[in-house]
Amino acid sequence: MGKKEDNQKFLEKKIVQHKAKIGIIGLGYVGLPLAVEFSKAGFAVTGIEIDKDKVRMINRGECYIRDVKQSELEELVKNNRLEATQDFSVLKDMDAIIICVPTPLRKTKDPDISYIMAAGEEIAKNLHKGQLIVLESTTYPGTTREIILPKLARRKFREGKDFYLAFSPERTDPGNKIYTIRNTPKIVGGITKKCTSIAVTLYEQIIDEVVPVSSTESAEMVKLLENTFRIVNVGLINEIALICDKLKLDTWEVIDAAATKPFGFMPFYPGPGLGGHCVPIDPHYLSWKLKALNFYARFIELAGEINIKMPEFLVSKIDAALNEREKSIKGSRILILGIAYKSNVADARESPALDVIRLLKERGGRVVYNDPYVPQVEGLKSIPLTESSLRNADCVVITTDHSVYDYKQIVKNAKLVIDSRNATKGIRDKKIVKL
C-alpha cells in the first residue's frame, strides 16, 4: 500500500470508527445543527465561529437556534464532545472540515463569496495531509473548484491524493419536524472520485441516504435547481393570485381544488412575498454565473420580478379594504401578525413582512407588530397580542401563519383582517379579506 493510499484508508478508518475530529466553520442555522448531529454520533466536534457571543454561548451549553434541543447541546458540551472557538489554528488538528458560512448577495445582487474565501484561506494555512474539506454553503457552480481548490492545492500537495475536497449542499428546512438532518438525503460531489467517496463515508455516519454525483459543479447545481424550482413555482402561484384577484376569484379555493388531482400537480401557495436566507437569494447566484456566459436565466428573473411585487400587492389590498371602511392607511393603526419569513420559525431575514411594514409606514400608517418568536426587529418591538391590541387596531394583517395563533380569537376581536396566508381557512366572516 503506497503512502497516498495510506492517507485515504487512514482517514476512512478514523471516520467509520467515529474517531475523526470534525471542524465546522460557521455555527449558524446550518452549522450548529450539523455540529450537534456529528457529536451526537460520537465524533469530537469543534465549531470555529467569528461571532464571540455565539462561541461563548455554545461553550456554556446555551442554544440560540430553535431546531437544536437545549438539553442535548448542554449534554454534548458537558461531555466535551462539542466546543466552539474563534481560533482558526485548531483547524490543523481536524481530520474533516465543513464550511457553513453565509453566502449573501451584495446590494447589486451579485454573489458575496467573501465569507467562503476567508474560510478557505484559514483552511489553507492549516491544511495537512489526509484532511477532508467540504463546502456546504450554497453557491454558484464552479465555486469549490475555482475558489477553494486553488487556495489548497500546491506543488506536491494534490487533491484526491494528499487532501480531499467536496461540495455537499445543505437542505435544512428550519422548523420542519418530519425531515431532519438524518432522514433528508444528502448530495455529495467531490473534485475527484476519491474525494466523493470519502465525503460520502463521512455523511453516511449521520445520514440515512447519501447520494453521490459526478462532480462538485453538479452538486452545486443540484441545490440551485431545488431553490430555482421553488422560486419559479412561487412566482407562478403569486401571478395566479394576481390573476384570480382580477377575475374576483378565491385563489385558495382554486389551488385546493386543483390539488385534488392525484398526479401532475403540486400545490404552491401565494403570500406577501419571498423570504428567508435561501430561496430569494440562491437563484441569483445562478443567474449571475450565467450572465458571465452570455445566457439570461429568464424564468429566475421573471419569478423574481413577480415575487418582489407581492408586498406592494398586499399593501394595495390593505388600502382598498380600509377605503371600503372610509379609512386610509395614513393615520390608521395597523397590527402586523408574524414577522418571521415563514411559520413557526424565529428567522426574520429577508422577510416580506419587513417590506410590508416599510411600505405602510411610507404611506403614513401607524404600524405595530406581534411575533412570538421575533421579540424585536428593525427598531420595533413585538407588542403583546391581547383582545385590546386587536380591538385597538383599524386593521390586522396576517403576514406569517404561526400555528400558535388562535385565528378564531383574532377574527372575533379584530375590526378588519387581511389574511395573506389563508390562515383563517374555515372561518367565515365578512371582515376577512384574503390575498
Residue with Cβ nearer ligand NAD (103 or 201): 103
Taking the CB of residue 262, how many other CB atoms lie within 10 A of it? 6
Length of the chain: 435
Is 118 a residue that touches ligand NAD (CB under 6 A)?
A: yes
Residue with Cβ nearer ligand NAD (169 or 365): 169
Grid cell in block for residue 82: 462539542
Is 101 a residue that touches ligand NAD (CB under 6 A)?
A: yes
Residue with Cβ nearer ligand NAD (173 or 256): 173
Q: Binders of ligand NAD among 143-182, rule CB under 6 A?
A: 170, 172, 174
Beta bridge partners of 368: 335
* Helix, strand, coil share of the chain (percent; to 5): 40, 15, 45
Of 190, 166, 197, 203, nearest to 5 by C-alpha is: 197
The residue type at 323: N
Q: Binders of ligand NAD among 2-41, rule CB under 6 A?
A: 25-31
Residue with Cβ nearer ligand NAD (232 or 367): 232
Is 49 a residue that touches ligand NAD (CB under 6 A)?
A: yes
To the nearest 10°, report the CA torsion of 104, 106, 111, 113.
Answer: -70
Is 137 a residue that touches ligand NAD (CB under 6 A)?
A: yes
In angstroms, rounded to a whole number, what is the distance separating the alpha carbons of residues 65 and 377?
A: 17
Q: Choose which of 119, 198, 306, 329 interacts with ligand NAD (CB under 6 A).
A: 119
Is 55 a residue that touches ligand NAD (CB under 6 A)?
A: no
Q: Choose which of 81, 186, 194, 277 interacts with ligand NAD (CB under 6 A).
A: 277
Stretch of residues binding ligand NAD (CB under 6 A), selected from 99-107, 240-248, 319-327, 426-434: 99-107
In angstroms, rounded to a whole number, what is the distance separating the alpha carbons of residues 236 and 252?
A: 14
Q: Which of 63, 195, 244, 278 is flagged as catalytic?
A: 278
* ∠ CA 422-425-428, rounded to 5°: 120
Smallest separation, CB 139 to ligand NAD (Å): 7
Is 239 a residue that touches ligand NAD (CB under 6 A)?
A: no
- Residue nearest ligand NAD by beta-carbon distance: 28
Taking the CB of residue 380, how many other CB atoms lie within 10 A of it? 17
Could you confirm whether 195 is annotated as catalytic?
no
Catalytic residues: 278
